[in-house]
Amino acid sequence: MERTLVFLKPDAVRRRLVGRIIARFEDKGFNILALKMVQLGQEWVRAHYAEHEGKHFYEPLVRYITGGPVVALVLEGKNAVEAVRRMLGQTFGSTAAPGTIRGDFALSDRFNAVHASADVEAVQEEIERFFRPEELCECPEDATRWIYDQSGAAPV
């Protein structure tokens, strides 16, 4: 099983969408291994979004993410990174398809409700930014017996 990091951004928290968004991940069948609400500082946000430094949206992005608390969670499931990214939809809420999280809960091109790890290589570093190893809970194998066919060597 693959893991991914997701955090619900300040607009999702302030609009009281946390439960509705998390429910979509649960409805899909993901296991939640860790969950917390935290206020991110500028240093953390600047490090997290360092690849965008110097771009026209960087400073507004830093203000946005530090503007209120976020809810971070670690999800586990088959092809978690790709599946979660598809669930989120396109980056900008104004162009995200209906039925996706951003398509249903975001209209802004800046306030887009949620972040998810971009690729498998980024996952571990992002998880470690939010959670200590002892904060992650393991799910028993039987927790997914009605999510996947586990009769073979790998879940299907």
Helix (H) or strand (E) holding 103: helix 101-105
Alpha carbon 76 to its chain centroid, in Å, reads 11
* DSSP structure class, residue 133: G
| Whether 52 is catalytic | no
Bridging pattern class, strands 2-8 and 114-116: antiparallel
Which residue among 48, 52, 56, 115 is the active-site one? 115
Q: Are 129 and 40 in contact (CB under 8 A)?
A: no
Q: Are 120 and 110 in contact (CB under 8 A)?
A: no
Please report the sign of the dihedral spanned by the C-alpha atoms of residue 34, residue 40, residue 112, residue 53. negative
Measured between alpha carbons, how far is 80 from 148 in angstroms, rounded to an integer? 13
- Catalytic positions are 115
